[in-house]
Chain A
Amino acid sequence: MDLSFTKEELAFRDEVRSYLADNLPERISDAVRRGGELTKEMMEEWHAILQRKGWLATIWPKEYGGPGWTPVQKHIFEEECCRAYAPRIVPFGLSMLGPVLIRFGTEEQKAEILPRILDGTDWWCQGYSEPGAGSDLASLKTRAVRDGDEWVINGQKTWTTLGQHANKIFCLCRTDPDAKQQEGISFILVDLDTPGIEMRPIKLIEGGHEVNEVFFTDVRVPYGNLVGEENKGWTIAKYLLTHERTGIAGVGFSMQSLEEVKALARKVKRGGKRLIDDPLFAARIAQAEVDLEAMKITNLRMLFRAQEMGAPGPETSILKIKGTVIHQELKDLARRALGPVAAPFPGYLAEGNIMFGPDGTEHNAARYFNNRKTSIFGGSNEIQRNILSKAALEL
């Protein structure tokens, strides 16, 4: 057993680190550090910077424009991006639709769509969930009916993340209402400019706008927008949900949060002493650090296993469950450390010169609340446990 990176991996890490240092604009990393909402322009700018270097579509094969990295390289890259406070890659085109097209798309679809994801022409969003179909995604009702060489779509999608920036949406639609639930679903691409589509914002708990609902009324798109076979969309949906995702544990983000909490606890004063000298608070940080240290290795172990087996197994659900819980705990500490000073609604005193907590902490309470989402979306932590108990434990 050897936990150290190879010489080549260390050289790669240094290369990533220096590229980020030279190319990630401080304006953008500063916005990430502060934890407010990023603008569309910032996300697009960051994508373009990575694409210049060929590092944007990190999980695509080389022939489609990916860098051809090993899982360990992808891991190193993600960790370095977190360390540098780079924005997260917007995943819908790059990590979701891209791999789906590469696996299931026609040559025309690949040739037409993939380059537009890479150069930022298209911003995709994910139309899976519906008001009545969350954990039980296969019960979705949005209907697509074939009419000559067109699909006619009616129904509603919801929770569409960053749909307000998107010009395209990939949807799971019911195309055979008489088949067994999973067998009547198709994967269809839709241009959001098509008549009959209405998008409405959903305001989240902390006041932010990152999700939307999308209504479809007699929306007509070409039949050729179907990806894969008709009524075989569930296979694609499953592929998308289970295919290799190195970032699922969010280790890099937790490392970032841990450093922030430590720095904060050194700055915050509690009655003449630093908060970090309060044994109760220090114990909370130390506990989270132990959990995270173990998670880093659990993450790497599962990455290696996936590499050996050729595909990730159900154990990756462990990464989702524990990874989100650790990250949420750290966000709790970042809020807790500020005490009552975390309370002001962010942005309200932007014009004034009153400082509350240390610089850059005004969103700490908002981030804590917003991050409750991570144990709900992408398969809730309860669903992950169901997967584990069935597939790993055979219970």
Chain B
Amino acid sequence: MDFNLTEDRRMLSDSLNRYLGDKYPVEHRNRVAYDLPCHDPEKWDEIAELGALFALAPEEAGGFGGGGFDISVVFEALGRALCPEPVLGAAMAARILTKLGTDQEALLSGATKYAVALAEVDAPYDLSEMACTASASGDGHALSGRKTSVYGGQVADVFIVAAMLDGAPALFAVQAGDAEVVGYPMMDGGGAAELLLDGTPGKLLAADAGAIVQDAINAGIVALCAEAVGAMDVTHATTVDYLKQRKQFGVPIGKFQVLQHRAVDMLTEIEQARSITIKAAAELDGPDAARFASMAKNMIGRAARLVAEEAIQMHGGIAMTWEYPVSHYAKRLVMLDAQLGDTDYHLSRIMADLAA
């Protein structure tokens, strides 16, 4: 057993953390994150040059990673910096293209931005209920329906879209220019889009793609959980620091035992969250990947909310302000629960396993 990162991953982690700390500080992040396009093309290119995207695919697919821990290393760094760049779409798309053996040079270099469109307004989490459909049309297929909250969709060049084809989920590539894309910034920063399909041409990537979609979701969950762990670490460290600095009643507020205990409870939850994320990353290519992904997402949903709310409360008014970074970390931590299945949804999946 070994809980250390490999040398390569450690180096990637260090260089990403250093780069984001220098070039993507939270003031810059807030300028980018809340207005369209919620994307800084120059920084995106530099993040890609550092290898953050190449790390998302295995060697045989042109990358140098592709495993659960490669994904978690990249996203933990992104989470620490609260980076709003659309890397999640790249991570999930890389998983899909790797499984299909499709060339992904343009994805890994950052030249082409991908977004993966799964959720729908009436079926945000459980995709077996999705209503988007595809049908054969000429040489290709035509897609109809609406995909919601497509993360990174506001700047995507290509969408990988899940739609029902002959009663089974299938995956299609849709060019951004062929569809109606309505982009917007989100409450927690970063952009997304509604993808409105109406007989929109799509290239069939895989029919009967349930397993491939699930794998992409598992990888996306590892990414989100690692992002949350990174963001929770920073939030907690900032809070502890504040407890030491802020004086009321003539003493640092960190002298109040009630706050000490709660800071410790936050730490406990973060360590638990880190552990389950490691487990989900370790199992990503195993037979029970979905189960451990669900466990991780369930726990992150709970831990991240606790950390966000406690960080604000223990700061007092200051963390209620836009100017103070913790408020933005808190928003991200709470809102990522609604990506790729919330804490209840994943609990219900684990409950279903119990009954099986």
Q: Which residues of A contact B (CB under 8 A)?
A: 129, 132, 134-136, 139, 158-159, 202-207, 269-272, 278, 280-281, 284, 332, 335-336, 338-346, 348-349, 352, 354, 356, 365-366, 368-369, 372-373, 375-377, 380-382, 385
Contact = CB atoms under 8 A, between A and B. Distances in A.
Contacts of A205: 312, 319-322, 327, 330-331
A345 B186 contact: yes
Contacts of A373: 317, 320
A366 B187 contact: yes
Interface stretch (B61-69, B228-236, B280-288, B341-349): B341-349
B148 A206 contact: no
Given A270-B124, A369-B187, 7 more contacts: A270-B123, A280-B347, A342-B335, A344-B186, A344-B187, A373-B320, A376-B313
B207 interface: no
Given A129-B317, A203-B323, A348-B185, A341 B121 contact: yes
A203 B331 contact: no
A349 B128 CA distance: 29
Contacts of A272: 122, 129
Among A203, A272, A338, A344, which residue has the most Cβ atoms of chain B within 10 A?
A: A344
Among A272, A339, A372, which residue has the most Cβ atoms of chain B within 10 A?
A: A339
Contacts of B19: none
B194 interface: yes
A342 B148 CA distance: 11
A270 B182 contact: no
Contact of A343 (B126, B182, B188, B321): B188
Interface string B122-158: 1111101100000000000000000011000000000
Given A270-B123, A344-B187, A381-B313, A369 B248 contact: no
A365 B335 contact: yes
Given A280-B344, A373-B320, A270 B248 contact: no
Contacts of A381: 313
Question: Considering the complex of A and B, which 5 residue pairs feature the smallest CB-CB distances, nearest first?
Answer: A271-B129, A340-B149, A203-B322, A269-B122, A136-B248
B26 interface: no
B331 A343 contact: no
B320 A349 contact: no
A280 B345 CA distance: 8
Interface string B235-274: 0000000000001111000001011000000000000000
A204 B337 CA distance: 22
A385 B322 CA distance: 28
A340 B119 contact: yes
Contacts of B184: 344-345, 348-349
A64 B313 CA distance: 39
A375 B314 CA distance: 10
A135 B316 contact: yes
B104 interface: no
Interface residues of B, number: 50
Contacts of B248: 134-136, 139
A376 B331 CA distance: 17
Contact of B122 (A139, A270, A345): A270
A361 to B, nearest CB: 12
B249 A372 contact: no
B316 A380 contact: yes
B320 A204 contact: yes
A281 to B, nearest CB: 6
A73 B167 CA distance: 61
B338 interface: yes
A373 B121 CA distance: 30
Interface in B299-340: 305, 309, 312-313, 316-317, 319-323, 327, 330-331, 334-335, 337-339
Nearest to A280: B344
A345 B317 contact: no
Given A135-B248, A204-B320, A280-B348, A341 B187 contact: no
Nearest to A345: B185
A339 B149 CA distance: 10
Nearest to B319: A205
A362 to B, nearest CB: 10
Contact of A345 (B34, B309, B312, B348): B34
A206 B185 CA distance: 13
A204 B324 CA distance: 9
A352 B122 contact: no
B192 interface: yes
Contacts of A349: 182, 184
B303 to A, nearest CB: 15
Nearest to A208: B322
B338 A340 contact: yes
Contacts of B124: 270, 339-341
A343 B330 CA distance: 14
A136 B256 CA distance: 13
A372 B314 CA distance: 11
A136 B247 CA distance: 9
Contacts of B192: 343-344
A359 B188 CA distance: 21
B53 to A, nearest CB: 24
Given A342-B338, A343-B338, A204 B129 contact: no
Contacts of A339: 119, 124-125, 338, 342
Contacts of A366: 187
Contacts of A341: 121, 124, 148-149
Contacts of A135: 248-249, 316
A343 B342 contact: no
Contacts of B344: 278, 280-281, 284, 336
B351 to A, nearest CB: 8
19 contacts: A129-B317, A136-B250, A158-B317, A203-B322, A205-B320, A205-B327, A270-B126, A336-B337, A343-B192, A343-B338, A344-B184, A346-B187, A348-B184, A354-B194, A356-B148, A372-B313, A377-B317, A382-B259, A385-B258
